[in-house]
Amino acid sequence: MLNQGTQHIEADKIVLDLTNGIAGAQGKVMFTDQAIGNNNTAAMQGQGNTASLTEKASQGGLIGVADSLAYSTESGQTTAYGVAFASVPLQSHGYAKRLNRPNESQYELDEVMFSTCPPTNRKWQFDAKSIDLDTDTGRGKAYDTTFRIADVPVFYLPYFNFPIDSRRSSGFLLPSASIDSESGLEVDIPYYFNLAPNYDATLNTHIYTNRNPMLSGEFRYLTEEYGGGIFNGSYLPNDKQYNDEDRSSLFYDHYWSSNSIPRLSGDAKYSYVSDANYLDDFDTLGLSDSTLNLPRRARLNYYNDYITGDLKLETFQTLDAFTSTGEALKDKDKPYSRLPQLELSYRLPWVEKFDITGVHDSAYFKKSIDDGSEAEKSGVRVYNKLSASYPIESSWGYIKPKVGLQHLYTSYDQDSLADNLLSEDDGSQSVFVPQASIDAGLNLYKAGSPFGAFDDTMGGYQILSPRLKYTYSPFEDQNELPNFNTRIASINYEQLFSDSWFLGHDRLQDLHAFTPGINYRYIDATGVTRFDGSIAEQFYIDDGRVTLDDQQSVFNSSSSGMVWDASTQPYNNVWVDVSGALTNSYDLNYVTTELRYQPSDNSLFNVGFVKRMRDDNTNQLPLSAFTASAIFPFNNNWRALAQGQYDYNSDKMLDALVGIDYEDCCIGFAVYGRRYYNDLNTRDKPTQAIMAEIRLNGLGSGDSRLTRLLADKVLGFEPVQTAWKE
């Protein structure tokens, strides 16, 4: 037995030459070295004389057996032949014809087999002419390497750089490949640059069979005083699939929090793509939603117990798109820029019994009309609202009387005055509108389950909460004012109890209505909400006269129509959600349903239905669609994944994905395909993509593109994915 520093050697025979400081070991040679993969070797060295060989390996390091071994007691250099080794930090093993350790931080292996799979069930391996490991840099370098799956050679790399601990370091990342209907075969080869502890970069080369090569890059940074951010960009010259045009993109995000002023923060964002099809073409499985308006903004945020503020400059890149009728979007359909906009919400702290709150929203809105689609209507808008309420709250319920005063001022800029042939007096208007409301509700409590059922097993309690709200705001003429960013809210249960249906501050609604509603909840003895359902309807005492643009008034009927919202969990692994609304004549406005069933921790089934009728008041487009998704494991390693949305009005599968996924301790593998339409133009042909992924566990593989996609599209996916990984 021989111990020195981080090394421990055992053998049938050890010969020590004290004159030359050389030791030789033969016969059942076993050795450990705690330096490799362990950045805190000094803490381990004190245990060198007492811990067993197995204990030393489990603490972190390299354990191996060899035919023979030579060791220098002066330099620490070790050379072993016929070596079988295992690394605890890497969760890996391998064989080497020769292993040389010239110093405490470097290892040289010749004729090497390396794998992170269990030795008895090796799915993949690297066969390399030589591998060099450096514990100072945390990297390994492999030369003349063949990658094999089940002893079948898959690809050859003359050089390969990989991590041997958790530290970041420069080197090639694992390549990926995919196939789609337009780009053909795509191979991505990323290289990571570990530039400094607080910034790094990744350069990715994309090679397509149907396009020219593309370069993309990412740069991340973090500062002590000014926050951190990320740049993403790409460039593809002379795209053969896009009329030989150059394609490019640039995205920038920056986030900052003040070190000296608590709760003061800021952010900046810039977005650019060369054409409307860029996101759809170069995000093979649609991982980025096809967005019509790409934001560009700088913003400051502040909040405390009494005030929340937001100051921003914002403009957009609006992509070429088409309406549901196939017409190209015009300049009048683009959003206004805010140059700048200040939004404040506040409450007065020195009033005890009354709740006095305020809202301020002022901005200069600018939108240039170059295509003659309408006269330009840019200018300044200032909105203020001051409200006072006297809430009376108790366990039995609440009463909240509230009064408020709203003020709206708008003024066209010079370009808009000229375009609309208006004088400065005609282009400015100031409007005051008072508002009053009373909101009251009861909480009726009853112990036990509904109708006394299941009391022996479920127990719990029920809460019945009837609610009634009365709202009054008089009419003031403002229909000729510009509409910068206001729309009608979609109808739902909570909206019926709001003070206004306008989302935005370009209109002060005249609303004279009362809204009765009721909510029922049942919570069982374990604290699980088994049922939560609400129903309400808003009734109009007077017809509304304030409109948006040239639209007819939204509120000239007797009521809003009935609205309901319900969710239930009859079993611990079953959830059902149903919401919907009727028109004032009690015809269907919309209905949505969702059934979620999770038979085990790593399986999931979702089925949904959406039926929407056209509603011109809220710009609701008609849709009749089924949605479904499934994650079904065949065993502990194999599972099937699927997701789809079918519009049966147009007999069109809007989105469909099917895949097979494999996962074990050393390798992950997935093959999946997707067929989907570009959101900006559903009349165009769908994109079809096929993707194959190989994940080598233990070599820095991150989340797959498949899991990132499903996380956005499948309700309840995250806990199922976590259970699958475990």
Q: What angle do CA 172, 175, 180 make, to 5 degrees?
A: 150
Q: Is the pLDDT of residue 289 over 60?
A: no
- Write down the architecture of domain 2-167 according to CATH: Sandwich (2.60)
User: What band does 168 get if pLDDT is binned at 50, 70 and 90?
Assistant: confident
- The DSSP-derived string for 75-105 is T--EEEEEEEEEETTTTEEEEEEEEEEEETT
- Report how far apart, in Å, the C-alpha atoms of 344 and of each of 119, 301, 306, 360, 362 are: 63, 10, 10, 5, 9
Say what the pLDDT of residue 682 is. Answer: 63
Q: Is the pLDDT of residue 598 over 90?
A: yes
Say what the pLDDT of residue 649 is. Answer: 82
User: What band does 55 get if pLDDT is binned at 50, 70 and 90?
Assistant: very low
Query: Percentage of residues in the chain with pLDDT exceeding 90?
Result: 51
Taking each continuous run of H as one helix and of E as one strand, the counts in the chain are 6, 42
Length of the chain: 726
User: What band does 618 get if pLDDT is binned at 50, 70 and 90?
Assistant: confident
Q: What is the mean pLDDT of the chain?
A: 86
Q: How far apart are CA 360 and CA 308, in angstroms?
A: 11
Pairing of strands 171-172, 139-149: unpaired
Q: How far apart are CA 461 and CA 444, in angstroms?
A: 11
Region 14-29 average pLDDT? 79
Q: Which residues contact 588 (CB under 8 A, 6 or more apart)?
A: 580, 582, 611, 613
Say what the pLDDT of residue 539 is. Answer: 96
Say what the pLDDT of residue 15 is. Answer: 82
Q: How far apart are CA 25 and CA 21, in angstroms?
A: 14
Please confirm whether the linkage preceding 340 is cis (ω < 30° from 0): yes
Say what the pLDDT of residue 392 is. Answer: 94
Region 52-81 average pLDDT? 71
Q: How far apart are CA 490 and CA 492, in angstroms?
A: 6
Torsion angle (degrees, nearest 10) of CA 289, 295, 298, 304: -60
- The DSSP-derived string for 532-557 is EEEEEEEEESS-----STTPPPS--S
List the single range of 85-89, 105-109, 223-227, 472-476 with lowest mean pLDDT. Answer: 85-89
Three-class SS string for 617-685?
CCCECCEEEEEEEEEEECCCCEEEEEEEEEECCCCEEEEEEEEEEEECCCEEEEEEEEEECCCCCCCCC
Q: What is the pLDDT of residues 646-663, one digit of tens each?
A: 998 888 888 899 999 988
Tokens of 684: 């165009």
Region 334-356 average pLDDT? 92
Say what the pLDDT of residue 599 is. Answer: 95
Q: How far apart are CA 25 and CA 10, in angstroms?
A: 8
List the single range of 352-366, 460-474, 662-676 with lowest mean pLDDT. Answer: 662-676
Q: Which residues contact 400 (CB under 8 A, 6 or more apart)?
A: 389, 390, 391, 392, 438, 439, 440
Query: Percentage of residues in the chain with pLDDT exceeding 70?
Result: 90
User: What band does 49 get if pLDDT is binned at 50, 70 and 90?
Assistant: very low
User: What band does 1 get if pLDDT is binned at 50, 70 and 90?
Assistant: low
Pairing of strands 512-523, 529-540: antiparallel
Q: How far apart are CA 675 and CA 653, in angstroms?
A: 8
Q: Is the pLDDT of residue 57 over 50?
A: no
Contact 63, 36 (CB under 8 A): no
Q: Is the sign of the CA dihedral 373, 376, 380, 384 positive or negative?
A: negative
Q: What is the pLDDT of residues 182-225, one digit of tens each?
A: 888 888 889 989 899 899 999 999 999 999 999 999 999 999 99
Q: Is the pLDDT of residue 38 over 50?
A: no
Highest mean pLDDT range out of 23-37, 127-141, 208-222, 290-304? Answer: 208-222
Select from 306, 377, 380 the least CA-distant residue to 341.
380
Q: What is the pLDDT of residues 364-403, one digit of tens each?
A: 999 999 988 899 999 999 999 999 999 999 999 999 999 9
User: What band does 172 get if pLDDT is binned at 50, 70 and 90?
Assistant: confident
Region 402-431 average pLDDT? 93
Which residue has better confidence, 498 or 46? 498
Say what the pLDDT of residue 40 is. Answer: 36
Select from 465, 499, 495, 645 the least CA-distant residue to 581.
495
Q: Which residues contact 433 (CB under 8 A, 6 or more apart)?
A: 405, 406, 408, 473, 474, 476, 508, 510
Decide: residue 477, CB within 10 A, 0-12 exposed, 13-18 middle, 19+ buried.
Answer: exposed
Q: Is the pLDDT of residue 619 over 90?
A: no
Q: What is the pLDDT of residues 291-326, one digit of tens each?
A: 789 999 999 999 999 999 999 999 999 988 776 667
Q: Which residues contact 404 (CB under 8 A, 6 or more apart)?
A: 385, 386, 387, 388, 434, 435, 436, 499
Say what the pLDDT of residue 713 is. Answer: 81
Highest mean pLDDT range out of 65-69, 116-120, 590-594? Answer: 590-594
Say what the pLDDT of residue 60 is. Answer: 46
Contact 29, 80 (CB under 8 A): yes
**From the centroid of its chain, how far is CA 315?**
23
Which residue has better confidence, 411 or 715? 411
Domain range summary for the chain, segments of one domain joined by +: 2-167
Which residue has better confidence, 191 or 22? 191
Q: Is the sign of the CA dihedral 372, 374, 375, 381 positive or negative?
A: negative
Q: Which residue has the tokens 């990320």?
A: 230
Q: Is the pLDDT of residue 47 over 50?
A: no
Contact 133, 107 (CB under 8 A): yes
Contact 567, 530 (CB under 8 A): no
Amino acid making up residue 180: D
Q: How far apart are CA 258 and CA 368, in angstroms?
A: 36
Q: Is the pLDDT of residue 534 over 60?
A: yes
What pTM was estimated for this model as a whole? Answer: 0.81
